[in-house]
Structure 1
Amino acid sequence: MTGLEHQPRLPVILSVDDDPAVSRAVARDLRRHYGGRYRIVRAESGPDALETVNELKLRGDTVAVFVADYRMPGMSGIEFLEEAMDIYPLARRVLLTAYADTHAAIDAINVVDLDHYLLKPWDPPEEKLYPVLDGLLESWRAQGDRAIPMTKVIGHRWNPRSWEVRQFLARNQHSFRSYMADEAKGKQLLDAAGLDGLQLPVVITEGGETLVQPTNTELADMLGLSTSPSLEMYDLAVIGGGPAGLAAAVYGASEGLKTVLIESTTTGGQAGRSSRIENYLGFPTGVSGAELTTAARRQAERFGAEVITTRKAEKLDIHGPARTIELDDGTSLGARAVILATGVDYRQLQVSGCWDDPNSPHNYIGRGVYYGASVADSSECAGEDVYIVGGANSAGQAAMFMAREAKSVTLLVRGPSLAASMSYYLIQQIESQHNIHVRTCTEVVEAIGQDDHLTGLVLQNRQTGERETVTASRMCCFIGATPRTDWLDGVVARDDHGFILTGPDLKDVVGWTLDRPPHHLETSVPGVFVAGDVRADSAKRVAAAVGEGSMAVMLVHRYLAES
């Protein structure tokens, strides 16, 4: 056997088109750009392609991307992808369509979880083919068919920190496998590490290092993320790493400002927890919140912005033109201008056991009660009856995501319908999903627990007052927003709910010291701006937050020019 035979085989990009000329053209363009890193395989019918896929699986090859033509006799591209994804579920899926067939591509999004559709012809490939596949291949390498070793997380279902660690890794798009400490594989891993399972969670890195009850900072170090600023003074400091903050970092750094972004946990904010955002401009097949915000973070870093994670801003001092930000580790940094994009937290349900009440004997948060999506992977709720409280888009997206594996998902909505708070496209998807049920005019009035975790809920009809007890071990709440602004008390003007006032809303607020009026996104402190959900009367949409983040940078330039 030669040395070449010992080398690992290249991952495969497989294309299938029944037109021989088109099939050769696709393969030619793929080889020209990807031939050195991937093995290009083509087929001219769905059945032939499936036979090839099975042969690849038997030989132990991996498939990174399927590119299938929609119109093929005998087996359409959608039918091929539906069968191929059972064999290679992590491969990315692309459908080739003519302009008249774009409706089929939209349908395929729900049928085969399509990643992208390409219109024929795709010339020039440098503009219409390669950028699409580059993004899909990067996503596949980060999350797809990765070779072992892989990061392993050993935890317990009712251990809140285990859930937080899985969320941290998932939101940073770090591939990992999760094991329960009370199951055979989890026990085996703990035994191998010389641990008894009393100190959970445990993270075993790809390199074999064991982290016991790791902090977010230790996890960030494992992922190679920055946790400390490198400079003492910046042109622009952005506080908060959601869509608004990431947009501000991208535009600030790309326009030559020395920019630092400070995020207390992981970049992405509430949007980063969204399983799928389908109404964001430029993503016809939708995009997960983690994918969108991770790409934005990389973009900001490519332009030279420093992105600091697991560091919380605790104080903002104003001394003349200087703005000083004190962090939770005792360090501080200065900036000529500041953009506040701290976002919001989900409001806690005021039911015993469901909020941080020091007088309550029970706390089920992280033990069956979750704020935001409760799973990093839909398989975590396989076979469960899941309850989701809330009627906005975030609740609907979570319902669709968890319905893939859950036995049932029940949306509990206080109002008479979803129409007032949820996008129409999402309502349609929910109505077509057989295992999602919507209960309107319903609220949770009691949480029932056993052994310190959630086991049931008492529901009440708000119209009739009738109560019902249901069995539940997982409830996710999306019930409004609380701004993260307590640390700014007495520094910037806020409304009665804690949201930050800006621009024209400051007209009757005492404290503005300059002759000029405040800029549109400027707070009561000159040179301190705000963007995104934390601003009073904001739109609470990803696109709006991104727009405000970029607009705030334009106003920062104007302020710095005036100073």
Structure 2
Amino acid sequence: MITKLTESPEEQPSLPSVELEKRRHQIFPTLSEADMRHVKRFATEQHFSDGAVVLEAGKPPAGMMFVLTGAIAVYRHDGFHNNTRIVTLRPGQFTGDTGQLSDRPALANGIAVNELSVLLLSAESLRTLAVAYAELGERIIRALILRTVALLEQNSGGPVIIGPRGHGRIHALQSFLTANAHPYTVLDPLVDPQAAELVARHQPTLEDWPLVIFPNIGIKKNPSVVELGRCIGTLRHLSEDKVWDVIVVGAGPSGLATAVYAASEGLSVLVLETHAYGGQAGASARIENYLGFPTGISGGALTGRAYVQAEKFGVEIAIPAPAGRLICGIYPLQVEMCGSLSRIKARTVVLSCGARYRRPSLANLKQFEGKGVYYWASPVEAQLCKTEEVVLVGGGNSAGQAAVFLAGHASKVHMLIRKGALASTMSRYLIERIQAHPNIELHTYSEIVALEGDDDGLKQVRIRNSQTGEESDCDVCRIFLFIGADPNTGWLADSGVDVDKHGFIRTGADVAKTQSAANLAGNLHPPEMAMRSPLETSVPGVFAIGDVRAGSTKRVAAAVGEGAAVVAQIHQFLANLDPDKITS
């Protein structure tokens, strides 16, 4: 039975926005006694004395705590031990954010108030509870998602990045954290006194910027994105001994769909992602032609829900974890991780590795990447170009969505395309929106031919009109490149996975056709033409879906459909596999 506190509850601090405050009852719900009885089925009871630390930012919690008696005061972590209370959780309420689904480090500190009794629920038990009691699970997971949103708005619980304004490495870390919906704070030591004091104490050299404070870890100088992932818990140790049922390479819409459907059907699933879940779709400002969202939805919101959904079913998602090599000559199949000799084993592999952004042939392009040259348009970049004029290159749907999004922040968006019109490359609704927007100016038959700037970043671009040959200089500090992408298949070079002349992966009937043609040409001995699943590659047990697959429809809905369809084909492959291999 839940015991109520006898003293009057202290006033709860306000949430960071009016919209979130209106949803306080969903963010911090109080469960009924019947709900708590359901929780108790999967939990253990624990007791803490008044003042005990029960949550520590940066440390994986012992589990999710459902308060029986006493209370838990939850405090924001800001990197400098400034205690700001977020909420006091009372009987019937519970701790946690979305990281609780996969044992990631806590984003806040928690202190026991009075004698505290809780029901402690492990991540695995939480996932079991959410499936067993769907309505209760819905309320709990909704609360965890909304809490993460609140922490993002408060910049609470994550790394504190300290460095000079506009530093390129700061942008790289910001982009990673923003794309993966992880809270963080950026402080300029010229403005913030606490940051200035820390800088004076550590005396960083030019190579040391930025300094990053990690909860429960301390200060790291100029950490890599891999270090960042390890510190915040998105990249954990992956055992070379475990054999996964499915390794999914790429966490775009197709890969996340595979993960959700496969894990919900009892398969063990590991997803390897290079930068951030969502792929190119995750960077879309608004997707308006995806079924079921008549008012549109941002790519980040859509794929963020899929990411949480995958974690709910127990999927292990490793970010950043680029695959470096696929080894198919032995079984189980193996994926060698980029930059190491670590090999992860699987009975099947799904290639949903998408595409890599194309880069124009400009001599000093790399110098300005992150310091004026960008390949996506997130809120981070939007804030950088506030009230400025910017240049955007590209005429596809992604370019159109980015142009409309940036036009709401920049004073002018100069949109450059090589063709004479957008009709052949962009959806009609986006063309009409671009034509109607006063802040967007379309430049046809135009391309960038030179970049100028200094160590601080981009300062000027030179634009050429291909019809007239006329060149003009444009004083802008931000350009956005949306000129398409090439299939990310270079790492498959020695795997035996067949690709077409453009580098896209052949599957199903396309593989059979190429093998038959080779046989007729006398290049191969006539093989036994076993039935091949529609999404299976030339290597048994290796499947390809989404943008990287030859002949696929380059749309989010099509990618999700292939991600779901491939799971049935995986089951079929495993069912026909030698039992000795399945148990190896």
Q: Distance in 2 between matches of 1:203 and 1:270?
A: 27
Q: Distance in 2 between matches of 1:149 and 1:553?
A: 37
Task: State the shift of 1:134 in Å.
Answer: 5.8
Cα contact 2:235–2:321 (8 A) shared by 1? no
Task: State the shift of 1:247 in Å.
Answer: 0.9
Task: State the shift of 1:175 in Å.
Answer: 2.3
Cα contact 2:372–2:477 (8 A) shared by 1? yes
- Aligned counterpart for 2:425 among listed residues 417, 421, 424: 421
Task: State the shift of 1:197 in Å.
Answer: 6.1
The aligned length equals 457
Q: Distance in 2 between matches of 1:225 and 1:156?
A: 27
1:289 aligns with 2:293: no
Check 1:179–1:424 CA distance in 2 against 1; reply closer, same or farther (3 A cut). farther
1:337 aligns with 2:331: no
Q: Distance in 1 between matches of 2:235 and 2:200?
A: 31
- Partner in structure 1 of residue 485 of structure 2: 481
- Partner in structure 1 of residue 44 of structure 2: none
Q: Distance in 2 between matches of 1:33 and 1:300?
A: 21
Q: State the secondary structure of the residue aligned to 2:202.
A: coil
Q: 2:250 is aligned with what amino acid?
A: G
Check 1:442–1:62 CA distance in 2 against 1; reply closer, same or farther (3 A cut). farther
- Partner in structure 2 of residue 351 of structure 1: 362
- Partner in structure 2 of residue 240 of structure 1: 250
Task: State the shift of 1:204 in Å.
Answer: 2.6
Q: Distance in 2 between matches of 1:445 and 1:520?
A: 43
Q: TM-score, normalised by structure 1?
A: 0.73
* Deviation readout 1:405-458 (Å, 9 max, x if unpaired): 222111111111222222222223323322121112211112222347321111
Check 1:232–1:286 CA distance in 2 against 1; reply closer, same or farther (3 A cut). same
Structure 2: gaps (5+ residues): 1-5, 32-83, 88-134, 519-523, 578-584
Q: Distance in 2 between matches of 1:479 and 1:538?
A: 19
Q: Distance in 1 between matches of 2:554 and 2:484?
A: 10
Check 1:132–1:36 CA distance in 2 against 1; reply closer, same or farther (3 A cut). closer
Tell me whether 490-499 or 450-459 shows the greater mean CA deviation: 450-459
Q: Distance in 2 between matches of 1:150 and 1:246?
A: 25
Q: Distance in 1 between matches of 2:13 and 2:195?
A: 34
Task: State the shift of 1:349 in Å.
Answer: 0.7
- Partner in structure 1 of residue 185 of structure 2: 177
Q: TM-score, normalised by structure 2?
A: 0.70
Q: Distance in 2 between matches of 1:206 and 1:377?
A: 26
Check 1:159–1:140 CA distance in 2 against 1; reply closer, same or farther (3 A cut). closer
- Aligned counterpart for 1:213 among listed residues 178, 201, 222: 222
Q: Distance in 2 between matches of 1:561 and 1:150?
A: 44
Cα contact 1:374–1:476 (8 A) shared by 2? no
Check 1:286–1:256 CA distance in 2 against 1; reply closer, same or farther (3 A cut). same
Q: How does 1:361-440 map to 2 (within 5 A)?
A: 363-373=367-377, 376=380, 378-440=382-444
Q: 1:508 is aligned with what amino acid?
A: T
Q: State the secondary structure of the residue aligned to 1:426.
A: helix
Check 1:281–1:139 CA distance in 2 against 1; reply closer, same or farther (3 A cut). farther
In percent, how many aligned pairs have the same letter?
38
The two structures, once aligned, show a CA RMSD in angstroms of: 3.5
Q: Distance in 2 between matches of 1:508 and 1:32?
A: 56
1:225 aligns with 2:230: no
Task: State the shift of 1:295 in Å.
Answer: 2.1
Q: Distance in 2 between matches of 1:33 and 1:209?
A: 30
1:494 aligns with 2:502: no
* Deviation readout 1:193-232 (Å, 9 max, x if unpaired): 6344622222234568323212223222332224332452
- Aligned counterpart for 1:280 among listed residues 290, 300, 310: 290
1:137 aligns with 2:146: yes
* Deviation readout 1:288-307 (Å, 9 max, x if unpaired): 22222222122112112211
- Aligned counterpart for 2:555 among listed residues 530, 541, 549: 541
Q: 1:308 is aligned with what amino acid?
A: A
Cα contact 1:244–1:547 (8 A) shared by 2? yes
Q: Distance in 1 between matches of 2:375 and 2:24?
A: 44
- Aligned counterpart for 1:446 among listed residues 426, 447, 450: 450
- Partner in structure 1 of residue 533 of structure 2: 519
- Partner in structure 2 of residue 306 of structure 1: 316
Q: State the secondary structure of the residue aligned to 1:456.
A: strand
Q: State the secondary structure of the residue aligned to 1:521.
A: coil
Q: 1:416 is aligned with what amino acid?
A: G
Q: 2:266 is aligned with what amino acid?
A: G
Cα contact 1:341–1:533 (8 A) shared by 2? yes
Q: Distance in 2 between matches of 1:168 and 1:538?
A: 28
Cα contact 2:27–2:143 (8 A) shared by 1? no
Q: 2:414 is aligned with what amino acid?
A: T
Cα contact 1:483–1:498 (8 A) shared by 2? yes
Check 1:207–1:289 CA distance in 2 against 1; reply closer, same or farther (3 A cut). farther
1:559 aligns with 2:573: yes
- Aligned counterpart for 2:545 among listed residues 524, 528, 531: 531
Q: State the secondary structure of the residue aligned to 1:238.
A: strand
- Partner in structure 1 of residue 60 of structure 2: none
Q: State the secondary structure of the residue aligned to 2:387.
A: coil
Check 1:519–1:194 CA distance in 2 against 1; reply closer, same or farther (3 A cut). same
Cα contact 2:189–2:199 (8 A) shared by 1? no
